[in-house]
Structures are given as structure tokens and as C-alpha cells.
Structure 1
């Protein structure tokens, strides 16, 4: 459905995207994930037609859209700032693109009513000013304004970042439901790993304008392709040489372990000291010291939550779940 073919974007000597090659399937919820400045929003805006690539080509449904004006690409976009018109009502905001296309009034009204219901906006809210709405409701208006044009592709640029944590979780579930119902191919940009893992069919992790890994959420997390991906996605500990010896781990190269694969046995394992813990409801994240360096463990046991700072513990790891990278430097 979407193909980036060696797309390079350069601004005044700064390379924002370096030879991006990527394919996104029809009906897929695909996420571009990475830290600030990695090129994910640049990729989105290049696809939308707001940025012209320095080189390379963009294809939508096998059609070359590289030089096509944005309004002819069949793409809807939701911006991080929502970009709503404060002087217009909710209905007028949603209908704006339809007015530009000179759609008849009756059909315009029917489309707005239908899409508003799909995103959870009540009929009474359509006649209100957008300034009267909460952040979550404004987000729904922005999504409705994009969907009312019936795009083949929906682009979402960090659309939940301005909302509080509880509302973000609620709206991402609704976004996922809506995307499944409509079947629209969706490209989503975020720096929030939890959000990406929860929403996506597949994820591309970017760093400095290049793709580090493309895969399902499970592949990205459990089979991280590089130290960058391992360190960026979730939590992980890079084990030092003394820790490897203390824990009885052989082999060469960088070795990382995720906290759910670090355990606190009653006996055996390596000696550890509890340095900090964070209660998370379903589990407790512990920072332990082993062989003079930190290692993190996640445990659902009540005993873990009761461990005292500075107290002693024992640590063992699931060696089959270790993530290893390359030979030693």
C-alpha cells in the first residue's frame, strides 16, 4: 500500500532521513517509533506531501506520488497540535475539507454525522465551539476531520502526546478499534514505546534517520536486533563482565537481559544488594547491585515489594532469554 524507496531528506546539510526503504501493507496499523530527531515525523510529512525528498521515491498503491500535490494523494492527517479552527463549530471543523471539495450540503451533513458517531462525538457536541471541548474531545474532532474525507491512508503524528496518561490509554484503545472497523491503512508516529507496542501490527524503530529494525511488537521487544533497539524499547540491563562471571554466563559480545527474566531465588544465584524499588501495582521493579553494577528485576511477588533498601538478595537470570550482540570490541 505504501512504499518508501531509498528516500533521503536533507535540510541545509543535515540529513533527516538516510535512504529510507520501507513497505507498509494495506489495512495495517504501522508505527514509526524512535527518539526525538530520529526522522519519524519527517518520514510522515514526506509521505503526506509537505516535505519534498532530496532523492528517492514514494509509492501509494503502486502509484508514484513523489511529486504529487498533497491534496491528490488520498491521505488524511492528524497533527499533534490538532490544528482546529477556534472560530468554527465542531461541525464546521469536521466539514471543512468537504466544503473545499464543494460537496453538496445534504451529503456533507450526512458524512459529518456518520463520522462523528464513529469517533464518539455526541450530536449536541457538533454545534459547540471547539474551544469548549476537552483535549480528548478535540482529538476526536481532529480524527473525524481526517476520516470524513474517506482517505485510503491515515497519518497520525503523536496524536495522544498532549493528553493525560489515563485519557491516552482510553483513546489509544478507541483508535485501535476504529482503525480495525474502517480498515484504513494507518501510519502512526510516536516516541512512546508502550503506546507503539499496544497499538501496532508492526513497528519500525528509527535512529538518526535510519531504520534499526522492523517487526511485530513481540519481535521488537523479545528479539531486539541491536543494542539501540534493546535499550530504547522497554527496560533492559547491559551486563558487565564481572556480572557475567558472577551469574555464570558464558559467551562473547554485549549481553543484555530484560527485568522479567531476572529472578530472586531463595538459594543459588549471585549475591545482590537492593538499591531501590518501584511498586507498580501488578509488579515491583527492583534495582539490585551485582558485582558492583546495577541490574533490574521485575517481580510480582509480595516478598519483592517488601525487600528493604540496602538488604541482601539472591539473583539468577533466564539464560535462554538473554539478548546478545556481536563479538567483543
Structure 2
């Protein structure tokens, strides 16, 4: 898979992981083998450890819930350390699968190689990074990329909507967004400001997307950005803006994300399974389930499902993962 350079950046872990850990509980199998993973021909049992992107977490959580309904002996834990924090844990052998809202960065790949951690990248959904305002905002429907840059670029002092457009009212502009540990921050800053990590710092930072939702919804002049699924879950309180990337205003709909017209904020979402973890039947079964049911999982979690070509590529990548395990 060809991954744009704009999706690559290294990160460090965040403290939020333990506090935001989501677990799909399960009971163990009475017939499991001594290692708790189940014997040959038996249903898998044990624990699958997933961590990483807070954007991808709801997708993997839905996958875990659906999988658990058919595999009661397996527990799947889904943590939210952020994309970079997740890769840090993954490369240190703490997890089986890393969720990522951008591709693994060269420095992270090197860290995994140093620790002998082999993996396979699997794109499991698409996302339209959504720029949102409060539901009661009645004066803005679309922003150009130039306007977004003017607001979010390093050193920007814009703090009123009428500085963005003279037609907008005299209203305080209150900004909310993810911190530097987030793959969403990486993607947005490069897509809008032209450089990964380049952003004004005087905005309300939160690694928890739900708190960004609350902040924007509760602010008369608020604006923020995050993955589209969080907008879908909270669209009664928020309005997603159309973005003009040079060809007119385009809304972050499923069709526009899939066909690439929602630019430059359409992006792929990934999971990275560890090759050695496939030796555990519960991990192998979960990954197989995730891939085989990716459309159902994406739709249930309010994510953008893969197109036909992307789905075919996902299945090829799964075959590549299995081949690595057997080699």
C-alpha cells in the first residue's frame, strides 16, 4: 500500500491510557489449554491487547463487541494511548495490535525492528477528519483551507470570527483540539499548515475526543476537529463544516471520503497486528474476524467503510500477514 508522507510522524505515549481503557469483558473457557488459549478444535480463549489511536478505538471496540458475541472466551482490551503512544507500547511488546490514525513513522518502524517486532499494516476504514462548530452556529457552513490555516497556523492571534471573514459576526473564536500525541493532530497540521506538528499552541488541548466534543458544543463561538465518527455520534449538538480545498465546498460524507473529493482531510485508518501474536489463536481469530467483517464493523461504528479496491487490498494484506507468520 502506498502511504502518503503526510501520514508519517513519531510520537510518545500519553498518560491517558489507563484512565480511558475500554474493556470488552469475557469469561474464560473451562476447556482451555494450560496457556489459556484453548486446545486444537476448541473455541479460542485468552486476551487480545489493543492500544493506540483514540480515533480508531471506537472501531476496534465495536469489532471486539461483535467478536465477543461469537467467542465468549476471549477478552479484547482497547486502550487509547494515542497513535504514537500506541506504537511505543507495541514496539516494546506490550500489545498485540496497534490502532493508528496515520501510518507508522520511520523512527517507530526502526524501534520495532530493534525490538524484533514484525507487523503488517492493515487499512480497516476511512475517515473524514471533521471540522466542527456548535449546532446553534448559523453563520458558517464552509471554510477554505486558507481560512483554516489562518486560524490554526503557528503564531496566529485570530480570536474572533470576524477576523476570519468580515461577513461573520463579532464573536469570540474558541478553539479546541487534540494534543501532540494524536495522529489526528499530525494529519491536520500537515494537511492544513503544510508541516507536521506546526500549530498555534493557545487552544484548549485534550487527548479525549469526547471532551473536545463537549467543549465545542458548550461554546457559542467554539470550533474543533476530530475523526468523523465522533461527529456522527454527537451530530445533535454539533455541525460539521464543508471544506473548500480548491474545488468548492465539500462536506465530509461517506461518498466524498471514499472518492477522495473531501480534500485534504480524508484519510485512511489502520490497525497493525504483530506477526508473533498470531501464534495465539485468540489474536489470529480476532484479526480474521476484523477483516472479514470490516464493512459491518465500520458501519456500526459510524466510520467510512472501505471501497471495493481498498477491501481487496485489505484481504491481500491479511494474506501477507499470514505468510509472514508461516515464514
TM class by smaller structure: under 0.3
Bigger RCO (CA 8 Å, 6+ sep): 2
Q: Looking at CA atoms only, which structure, 1 or 2, has the larger radius of gyration?
A: 1
Using the size of structure 2 for normalisation, the TM-score is: 0.26
The structure carrying a bigger helix percent of its residues is: 2
